[in-house]
Amino acid sequence: LAYRAVHADPAPGTADPAPGTAVLVQRLVDADAAGVLFTAADGAAARLEASWGLGEPVVRGLVTPDTWVPAPGGGLEHRAGDKRTRVDRAPGGTATTAVPLRDRARPCLDEVRVREVLALGEAVAAHLGGPQDVEFAVAAGRVWLLQARPVTAPLPPPGAAPGAAPGAAPGALLVGAAGSRGSAAGPARLVRSAADFPHVQPGDVLVCRETDPAWTPLFGVVAAVVTEVGGVLSHAAIVARERRLPAVLGVPGALGVLRDGQHLVVDGDAGTVRPA
């Protein structure tokens, strides 16, 4: 409802009808790996992010996923993620488990599967008539299309190096993934759970481990977003782009390095966070 209040634009002279609720019944694919693909748009290359198990950790920004971007000449640019947890089917629902150390930086998809997902995205975009935000799963050697919807806000240009190491000095430059364009300055507000919401003031820079869809109202208050984990195609990054909030994702140790109330400058184009 908070999202709709911002984006609903009824035709002049018409009432905006109350939204209905759809019930979707869909097969659960026991994914070996899953993720999100944004197809190419407005001259920007496609971008694919994936992690082990079901796609929830990628969508919710619970891990820093593997990333692939098509490169000029037909190659693929790959950046390894830090995939520390995975979600899988379990009795009565799902379960979150630790990913073995040897697999955290190992690519969760091989080049053949990546190219298959990219081709699927191109076909979906052509069929639906525009750039698409696609969710997919890979199970038993097969790629499954789970969902597609229009891309609602363009991706920032590629950039940003791996994040700064935990324990960096409070005055050091922190680097992550450029999640949403623009630059903003404000006091850091460290939020570890919903219990910290009352402390967030207009113009603060939200600093957190990850966000949850229930945190969406905060995006109407803060000036910028910094997360410790998550990718450019996560929920936090998408909402930040739609709200035109600068965002830097996947900054390891941000909650330990930054101080509550410390004035920061967040550059969502370069993927950097520095003291004001």
99-122 in b/e form (b: 16+ CB < 10 A) is beeeebeebbbeeebbbbbbebbe
Model confidence, pTM: 0.84
Tell me if 53 sits within 8 A of 135, measured CB to CB.
no
Residue 24: what pLDDT? 85
Residue 21: what pLDDT? 78
The active-site residue out of 78, 127, 235, 263 is 235
Active site residue 7: no
111-148 pLDDT, tens per residue?
999 999 999 999 999 999 999 999 999 999 999 999 99
Return the structure tokens found at 238. Answer: 């998408």
Residue 10: what pLDDT? 58
Residue 216: what pLDDT? 81
Low-confidence ranges of the chain (pLDDT < 70): 1-17, 158-172
Residue 167: what pLDDT? 44
3-state DSSP helix/strand/coil percent for the chain, to nearest 5? 20, 30, 45
Nearest C-alpha neighbor of 160 from the set 173, 143, 145 = 173
